[in-house]
Structure 1
Amino acid sequence: MRRLLHVSASPRGAASFSRTVGEELAVAVAAATPGWTVTRRDLSHAPLPHPGPDFARANALAPDMRGPAEREALARSEALIGEVEAADVLVISTPMHNFTLPSVLKAWIDHVVRPGRTFRSTPAGKQGLLVDRPTFAIVSCGGRLGDAPAGQADFLTPYLRTVFATIGLSSLDILCLEEMNRGQEKVAAARAAVRVWSAACVARAAPAPGA
């Protein structure tokens, strides 16, 4: 049994471009070869709490120093990390909010990216502790990315590349759906790009022969 985890962050529900493309990709990957299970985590429908003081205290302790209260404070984080660890393929779908990622997605990342659990600090820098796997991100924005004045700044995609590489997920492909609020012609162009990109993602996600 192979597993795909789709983490979605848009508050727009079925009207969301990023969520729709992410779901279509998840379904296409599962349909391409038998034996897939898809897990969906909708961060807008069921937002996560941001890590609080109990989490911070427990996270700062070495595992052998944690008692029942500390383990309880990290239980949600462990469950979320477990979902990632169990997934053979990870799909992230998110809008761009104010040049960067929505707070609900940042909360998920803050539960998953933990020192001593998903990365460790070394003299050479942070080293990821998770096994790399195909990771696909769909980012939707209303305007065009690029230099001002016509374009808008993008702090989202560089951040995703850095934070996922930090925990060992370096095989990240990102599709940016730009100008989604600029009329049906732009939406149609984005849809054409999605078809090409999704086909390549499905091929990458397919298990190797005999796997």
Structure 2
Amino acid sequence: MKNILHVTSSPRGDESISTQLGRAIVSELISKNPGSELVEIDLVNNPFPHLDGKQTTALRTPTDLLTEEQKQLLERSNEAVRQLFTADHIIISLPLHNFGIASVLKSWLDNVIRAGHTFSYSSEGPKGLLSGKKVHIAIATGGIYSDGPMAALDFAVPYLESIFKFIGITDFEVYRAEGLGIPALQEKALEKAIESIAV
């Protein structure tokens, strides 16, 4: 039995290729780990608010000094952090938006990358507090970004790998449904990506 967290960030709902790819990863994980628990977070229909002054202050305030208002502001962020700690497998489904991640995904990350919660500072520098977990990145792109001249413009996958390594997760798999904007490739793009799944 595994705890699986699936985070989706495409505005296209069930038609989203990245969401479908992520669900295929979930299905494969569940088939190999019967009885697994799944938590799904739809960041488009249930977005995390972009950080404002009040929340930023609350995030930087020691727990024992939080006001009641600040505690309420941090409730959802705290829940998201708990979900990360509980998960054995984290699936991030995303489209490539202007060479990067969608803003709704960035807002979620801003709520879980937290000093004293998912990482800490020491005399040797920052230290990630999550370990023993695996991140599966399910990305959909119109062009080919896995190699070739466009690879340098994929800022999404390197960013996600870097930010998760920062909080202690070093085990990654990247699944790409790519060429969705290329007529000769788009029909088989999702099928090819699903066939590559190995969990």
Q: TM-score, normalised by structure 2?
A: 0.91
Q: Secondary structure at the match of 1:7?
A: strand
The answer as to 2:23 corresponding to 1:23 is yes
Residue 180 of structure 1 is matched in structure 2 by: 180
Shift of 1:175: 1.8
The answer as to 2:34 corresponding to 1:34 is yes
Structure 1 unaligned runs (5+)?
A: 202-211
Query: 10-19 or 56-65, which moves further after superposition?
Result: 56-65
Residue 92 of structure 2 is matched in structure 1 by: 92
Kindly provide the amino acid, as one letter, of the partner of residue 87 in structure 1.
Answer: A
% identical equivalent positions: 30
Residues 184-199 of structure 1 mapped to structure 2, 5 A cutoff:
185-196=185-196, 198=197
Q: Secondary structure at the match of 1:132?
A: coil
Shift of 1:152: 6.4
Runs (4+) of structure 1 exceeding 3 A deviation are 184-187
Q: TM-score, normalised by structure 1?
A: 0.86
Residue 47 of structure 2 is matched in structure 1 by: 47
Q: Secondary structure at the match of 2:92?
A: strand
Structure 2 unaligned runs (5+)?
A: none
Structure-1 separation of matches of 2:27 and 2:105: 22
Residues 35-184 of structure 1 mapped to structure 2, 5 A cutoff:
35-145=35-145, 148=149, 153-183=153-183
Which digits, 9 at most, give the CA deviation of each residue in 1:75-106, with x for residues without a partner?
11001111111112111100010100000000
Structure-2 separation of matches of 1:73 and 1:189: 41
Aligned residues: 198
Change (3 A) 1:147 1:99: same
Alpha-carbon contact 1:99-1:152 (below 8 Å) kept:
no
Alpha-carbon contact 1:143-1:151 (below 8 Å) kept:
no
Query: 119-128 or 159-168, which moves further after superposition?
Result: 119-128
Structure-1 separation of matches of 2:27 and 2:157: 24
Shift of 1:56: 1.0
Q: Secondary structure at the match of 1:130?
A: coil
Shift of 1:147: 5.8
Q: Secondary structure at the match of 2:176?
A: strand
Alpha-carbon contact 1:3-1:88 (below 8 Å) kept:
yes
Shift of 1:194: 2.7
Q: Secondary structure at the match of 1:116?
A: coil
The answer as to 2:17 corresponding to 1:13 is no
Which digits, 9 at most, give the CA deviation of each residue in 1:10-40, with x for residues without a partner?
1111221110010111122112232111111
Residue 208 of structure 1 is matched in structure 2 by: none
Structure-1 separation of matches of 2:132 and 2:32: 21
Alpha-carbon contact 1:5-1:91 (below 8 Å) kept:
yes
Query: 93-102 or 134-143, which moves further after superposition?
Result: 134-143
Structure-2 separation of matches of 1:151 and 1:122: 35
Kindly provide the amino acid, as one letter, of the partner of residue 82 in structure 2.
Answer: G
